[in-house]
């Protein structure tokens, strides 16, 4: 296929983002307007506030993405947009904007699954990367191990049964008084702590399952902090951060390595906000090396919510001959592989 330019829009949570991507791999612009400062005041994302802020930002963000890419609307081949999973009001802002553009320009609309977007960030970072590979998607809302069999063909091998990994980071950080978003703060503080200081539990399912559960370790941290406060003992926050992080990273790594073994795959890509975590990266590399498994991760700007990853996923959908109708609706609980 010749050169295809996609304008992509992402608004599923608290980032309003637009990007221009060529052939799914080359990013001409990647503009992200973050609402973190506003949500920090509330200790987490407030859905109604998120929708309103997306409405305020979207036009400027799309305009900036086009200007930075030096591409006009007429030169765009298709418009890619996240339509799920995510916050319904937030998704609708980006989706309605994209539909309006597609209709007025008479260009194809390509609805993209946000998780598929996270996975596709790896196609931007690693220009030669092709399936099959195993992808660990770890973000504030999702925790999945996916066997990427082909472009657009996914098998979910394991997922969280309760909290997402990033959610656990955020809740533990809040209990430690570190602020929101907690992941990067715990990552940093843990470097000064002893990861073996406190033994926090790892969820173990007795059924061969590669699912995750992070609410147990989160509650264990909260109970530990309560107990310390009741007995008047001083808490070493760095030790708590390091020990909690070890519990999370151990189980993520174990399940990824088991997936590779079961599927006979030697390549792992990670994705999502938590993929920026330094301990997770280091541990995956260490365990991967022992088994001859290559570990790939995108640059932090492609790990966090962004629209370039949506533009990449949209391109491969387009290559598969897929596009969406203008009656496409937001799907807050959209599953991976569902159309």
Site residues (vs Zn ion, CB under 5 A)? 139, 305
Please report whether residue 139 would count as binding ligand KG4 according to CB under 6 A: yes
Is-contact 89 50, C-beta < 8 A? yes
| Ordered strands of the 133-138 beta sheet | 153-159, 143-150, 133-138, 267-271, 294-296
What is the rounded CA–CA span in Å between residue 248 and residue 252? 6
184 lines the binding site for ligand KG4 (CB under 6 A):
yes
The SS3 assignment for 201 reads: coil
Helix (H, G, I), strand (E, B) or coil at 287: helix
* Residue 193, contacted partner among Zn ion, ligand KG4, none, CB below 5-8 A by kind: none
Provide, rounded to whole angstroms, the least separation between the CB of residue 117 and Zn ion.
8
The CA R_g of the chain, rounded to the nearest whole Å, is 20
Nearest distance in Å: CB 183, ligand KG4: 2
Closest to ligand KG4 by CB, 13 or 112 = 13
Distance between CA 72 and CA 254 in Å, rounded?
47
- Contact map string, positions 287 to 316, toward ligand KG4, x by CB under 6 A: -----------------xx-----------
Residue 211 marked ligand-binding? no
Q: How many residues does the chain have?
A: 339
Instruction: Pick what 182 binds: ligand KG4, Zn ion, none; C-beta below 5 to 8 Å, kind-dependent.
Output: ligand KG4
Single out the residue of 7, 134, 146 nearest to residue 69, CA to CA: 7
State which residue, 188 or 339, has the beta carbon closest to ligand KG4.
188
Site residues, ligand KG4 (CB under 6 A): 13, 139-141, 166, 169-170, 181-184, 187, 272-274, 276-277, 304-305
Known binding residues are 114, 118, 137-141, 170, 183, 187, 277, 305
């Amino acid at each position: 296929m010749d050169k295809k330019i996609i304008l992509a829009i992402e608004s599923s949570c608290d980032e309003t983002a637009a990007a221009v991507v060529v052939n799914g791999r080359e990013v001409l612009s990647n503009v992200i307007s973050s609402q973190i400062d506003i949500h920090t005041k509330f200790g987490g994302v407030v859905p109604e506030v998120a929708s309103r802020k997306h409405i305020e930002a979207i036009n400027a963000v799309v305009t900036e993405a086009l200007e930075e890419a030096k591409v006009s609307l007429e030169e765009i081949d298709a418009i890619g947009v996240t339509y799920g999973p995510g916050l319904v009001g937030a998704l609708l802002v980006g989706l309605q904007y994209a539909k309006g553009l597609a209709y007025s320009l008479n260009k194809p609309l390509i609805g993209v699954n946000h998780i598929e977007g996270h996975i596709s960030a790896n196609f931007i970072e690693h220009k030669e990367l092709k399936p099959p590979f195993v992808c660990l998607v770890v973000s504030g809302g999702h925790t999945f191990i996916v066997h990427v069999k082909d472009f657009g063909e996914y098998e979910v091998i394991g997922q969280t049964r309760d909290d997402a990994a990033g959610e656990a980071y955020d809740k533990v950080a809040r209990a430690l008084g570190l602020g929101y978003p907690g992941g990067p703060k715990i990552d940093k503080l843990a470097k000064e702590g002893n990861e073996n200081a406190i033994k926090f539990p790892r969820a173990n399912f007795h059924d061969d399952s590669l699912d995750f559960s992070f609410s147990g370790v989160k509650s264990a941290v909260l109970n530990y902090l309560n107990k310390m406060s009741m007995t008047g003992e001083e808490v070493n926050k760095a030790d708590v951060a390091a020990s909690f992080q070890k519990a999370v990273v151990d189980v993520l790594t174990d399940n990824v390595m088991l997936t590779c073994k079961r599927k006979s795959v030697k390549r792992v890509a990670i994705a999502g906000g938590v993929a920026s975590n330094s301990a997770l990266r280091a541990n995956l590399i260490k365990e991967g090396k022992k088994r001859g498994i290559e570990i790939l991760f995108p640059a932090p700007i492609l790990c966090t919510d962004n629209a370039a990853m949506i533009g990449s996923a949209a391109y491969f959908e387009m290559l598969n001959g897929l596009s969406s109708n203008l009656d496409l609706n937001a799907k807050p609980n959209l599953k991976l592989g569902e159309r």
